[in-house]
Amino acid sequence: MKILAIESSCDETACAVVEDGRRILSDIIASQVDEHQLYGGVVPEIASRRHCENISGVCEEALEKAGVSLDEIDAIAVTYAPGLIGALLVGVNFAKGMAVAAGKPLIPVHHVKGHIAACYLTYPELKPPFLALTASGGHSQITLVNDYTSFTTLGRTIDDAAGEAFDKAARSMNFPYPGGVFIDKAAQNGNPHLYKLPRPHTEGEFDFSFSGLKTSVINLVHNAHQKGEEIDTASLAASFQFTVAEILSDKLMLAACRYKVGAVVIAGGVAANSGLRAAVTEKANERDIKVFLPPISLCGDNGAMIGAQAFYEFQAGNVANSELNAYATLSM
Ligand code: KG4
Ligand code: ZN
């Protein structure tokens, strides 16, 4: 089954053709990051406009690269929640138009479920049940994937997402937006134990809190500036990355042991972080838990992950009609 999948929940206009939920035939991404960088974050109105301009060309390119015509596509999938509402609506309406015009089924996909499904594209042996840690610019959560379309959220951030904390901390260190990847690079040359940063407590055992940690980095930088003191940026980046990776990997392992799950997956933009990948791999190996890391190219937002999850949604009968709406927030 060939699915054409569209993703437009934030600042990437993406479209992919995926076969049977496991094989990428094409995966096209038009990133708007250069433009949003000028403003230090995603400007929703600009994101929506760029999606409108790009979506048609991106979909055409995805079909062309896959070497298939729209006739040969079996279904159209689209991210319908959560995300920036104006951005989501562009993808949803484009997908609806395409599905109606071509007479194809329409499959709505939850963005976070898509992130988790990214690993299906790399690991043929990966099958539920497993535990997933999703950490991106908008989400941080630990989810029990009972089956391809059955999820139990065990914990989530009570304030900032991990990626948001990375980006705000990076900004205080004068890195461009989105700063996660710059912290990652700078951290390679730093001492992760030079700065002692707080690990905020949460009531929920598997919940996260990153707001206090983020603020402590920002305050540390401001105070140093005021006193005319030098900051060791590489070591601050390394200390911050180390702390976030410890928080995320410790809770993931705690949940894996509590629920006796033999496999863990990490997903979302922050899953590209080298410190997090190393921490999760090391701790899982110590506990004889299998680890599945998505390739860096599938960590950030893309259409292929939506096509992967869509295959299983379709099999479970989750299809929509032309009344499908988009939602800025929606639980799994
Ligand atoms: O999944 P994603 O592309 O979009 C959302 O759904 O939010 O995630 C984007 C986030 C940004 O906060 C970005 O800074 C972060 O992922 N990110 C990283 C790295 N690469 C991307 N954070 C830490 N280390 C990285 N290497
Ligand atoms: Zn995302």
- The torsion region of residue 268 among left (phi > 0), alpha (psi -120 to 50) and beta comes to left
Distance CA 294, CA 276 (A): 12
The DSSP secondary-structure symbol of 162 reads H
Distance CA 134, CA 268 (A): 5
The pLDDT of residue 44 is 95
The DSSP secondary-structure symbol of 136 reads S
Which ligand is closest in space to the CA of residue 113?
2
Pocket of ligand 1 (CB under 6 A): 10, 136-138, 163, 166-167, 178-181, 184, 268-270, 272-273, 300-301
Amino acid, single-letter form, for residue 217 = V
The alpha carbons of the chain give a radius of gyration, in whole angstroms, of: 20
Report the residue among 136, 156, 297, 301 best suited for mutation to probe ligand 1: largest number of ligand atoms under 8 A from its CB. Answer: 136
What is the sign of the dihedral through the CA atoms of 58, 64, 69 and 75?
negative
| Closest alpha carbon to 132 in 248, 305, 241, 24 | 248
Ligand 2 centroid–CA 211 distance in Å is 20
Which ligand is closest in space to the CA of residue 183?
1
Ligand 1 centroid–CA 48 distance in Å is 20
The pLDDT of residue 314 is 98
Distance CA 181, CA 279 (A): 17
Which residues lie closer than 8 Å to 205 by C-beta, 6 or more apart?
A: 155, 251, 254
| Tens digits of residue pLDDT in 102-159 | 999 999 999 999 999 999 999 999 999 999 999 999 999 999 999 999 999 999 999 9
- 0.95 exceeded by the pTM? yes
The DSSP secondary-structure symbol of 157 reads B
Parts of the chain with a pLDDT under 70: none
Let me know: does 277 contact 101? Beta carbons within 8 Å: no
The pLDDT of residue 27 is 98
**Distances from the Cα of 212 to the Cα of 119, 239, 307, angstroms:** 31, 15, 36
Let me know: does 105 contact 254? Beta carbons within 8 Å: no
Ligand 1 centroid–CA 167 distance in Å is 8
Report the residue among 8, 270, 299 best suited for mutation to probe ligand 1: largest number of ligand atoms under 8 A from its CB. Answer: 270
| Tens digits of residue pLDDT in 311-331 | 999 999 999 999 999 999 999
Q: What's the mean per-residue pLDDT of the chain?
A: 97
Nearest C-alpha to atom 14 of ligand 1 is from which residue? 180
| Closest alpha carbon to 70 in 49, 50, 94 | 94
